[in-house]
A and B are shown apart, each in its own frame.
Chain A
Amino acid sequence: MSYRTNGNRFAIQTFSLSRKFGDLVAVNNIDLSIKEGELFSLLGPNGAGKTTAIKMLCCLLKPSSGTATIMGHDINEDPMAVKQIIDVSPQETAIAEHLNAWENLSLIGGIRGLAKEEVKERSEELLEIVGLTKRAKEQVRKFSGGMKRRLSIAMALVSDPQVLFLDEPTLGLDPQSRRGMWEHIAELKGKTTILLTTHYLEEADALADRIAIIDEGKIAALGTPQELKDSISDMQVMVVKAKNLTPGAIEGLKEIYSEVKATEDGIEIRAKELSFYEIVDYLRPRGIAIQSVSLKQPTLDDVFLHLTGKELRE
């Protein structure tokens, strides 16, 4: 278990990290090495094991087997040292309802050992970043869901941790707030090591230096967003917009091309070799009105579907 490998300092390393709940294996022998300053994303659907992995790394959950180190400190042997250098924004909004925004930030700054002046300075900065300066003195129980979420994330940043865990940080935010939060997270890249879990592909694609696709507790693929897309670059993705598509027709197409996904207004078909004529000749006799057919570049969604046979939002 070396802290440095080939000159790189690893902020987070996991060694066959596993966690079982009864017969259910939530996290299954995960081995990861995340470099200092890297923004690393665990991408997977709900129930894939992302939050369980984060809870173990934050010392909230004991691994069933294996271990992990955070900046060289073992999560099993020295959890207090780990807790000194991390912070976390849990998936649920974690705030004190009868305190105001300012007091919430001071609470976290205080229990993490920051001096009063430092807390004040950081709080002012963070309230500005999350757009809550004008509401800083109001009790947060009066805040909207989005405002509470923004404050909850700001609370994870107040101690300026060496390693930051963001568990579904933009869950429940409206698209505008989500984009704003991405900008703030992107600003931390390089300064703070961030492990971010998400089931939003665009989020991982926009923010992460590297992505691990996790499904049923196992790492299905790992690489930069571009590497993951390149891994299926030899595949073609055909987008067919059509009316009167029946489940029977889609199932029939799956016998020709295994990866067929129903979309809002048609289907998407992935395969190494696609025949435009074969598809049209299959659909037309079945009374399906084709409106358009086009080819597109593979996305992370395609990578995920190809690797797991599932869609992220299933």
Chain B
Amino acid sequence: MRFVELATRNFKEMWRDPISMGLEIGIPAGFLAIFWSLGRNMGDQSFLTITMLVPGMAVFSFAFLLMFSAILLARDREGALLSRLLTAPLKPHDFILSYSLPYIPMVILQIAVCFGIGALLGLEVLGNAGLAFLILLVMGICCVGLGMILGLLFAAHQASGVGSITITLVALLGGIWMDLKMIGGVFYDVGNALPFAHAVDAVRDIIVHGAGFNDIATDFYWVLGYAVVFFALGTFLFRRRMVE
């Protein structure tokens, strides 16, 4: 259970960093309110309704967490803290747990904030809210796994750049504030190959149409598959990093 110490440290790093908190909570909350207001002014035909925006903004907020987790790990590598930790009797799974578990409370908070603001702005969930939470939780964990990979592959200044690109890609190809079908063509295919749009669409189906697990099973397993692949790759990279 030695990983608990390192996990606790990573948890504190995140909660004590005001920029991280602002990006992970403040921006999605602010954007949600702004786009909702924009949608209201655009009229009834607008895509920017609260039911469409809440799932998208929750997934969008995970992209900021992804960037933070990547930068923290990259900084630890650069500042030699990771080298120091790698000389301790910790195993690869200790590192994986330490650099992923602390972010799960943030994922839960991000979901709660998006749904909480949504509720204030009139969101009604027709289907099982627990199921919506589950798929978003898996999506959040998937983003944490991707952040770990970026943190192991890139330097801190590169990780922030790659993280920004990822945030933009999530926004554009995840169908966050527009229907992916409207983009069409190869972008639609790429968006559909990635997990983000699947998570967003599944939660929208739950909220709007009251979809059950069988209806969104493909989307769920698509997101879960990515999470498994990202964590497997993260473990491989950590194992490789442990002894150069």
Contact = CB atoms under 8 A, between A and B. Distances in A.
B87 A83 contact: yes
A140 to B, nearest CB: 11
Contacts of A93: 79-80
Contacts of A240: none
B244 interface: yes
Given A91-B80, A93-B79, A95-B81, A60 B12 contact: no
A108 B88 CA distance: 9
B contact patch SS = helix
B2 interface: yes
B93 interface: no
B13 A111 contact: no
A111 B98 CA distance: 11
Given A61-B243, A111-B88, A94 B5 contact: no
Interface string A96-118: 11110001001110111100000
Contacts, number: 80
Nearest to A110: B5
A113 B84 contact: no
Nearest to B85: A111
A94 B80 CA distance: 5
B5 A111 contact: yes
Chain B contact patch, size range: 20 to 34
A62 B243 contact: yes
A87 B2 contact: no
Contacts of A223: none
A99 B12 contact: yes
Interface in A148-174: 155-156
Contact of B87 (A58, A62, A97, A139): A58
A94 B81 contact: yes
A80 B83 contact: no
Given A61-B243, A61-B244, A110-B4, A95 B88 contact: no
Contact of B89 (A83, A92, A98, A139): A83
Interface of B: 2-6, 8-9, 12-13, 16-17, 79-81, 83-90, 243-244
Interface of A: 55, 58-62, 79-80, 83-84, 86-99, 103, 106-108, 110-113, 139, 155-156
24 contacts: A55-B83, A58-B87, A59-B87, A60-B243, A62-B244, A80-B89, A83-B88, A88-B83, A88-B87, A90-B83, A94-B81, A95-B81, A96-B9, A96-B13, A98-B13, A99-B13, A103-B9, A108-B88, A110-B5, A111-B2, A111-B3, A111-B90, A113-B2, A155-B84
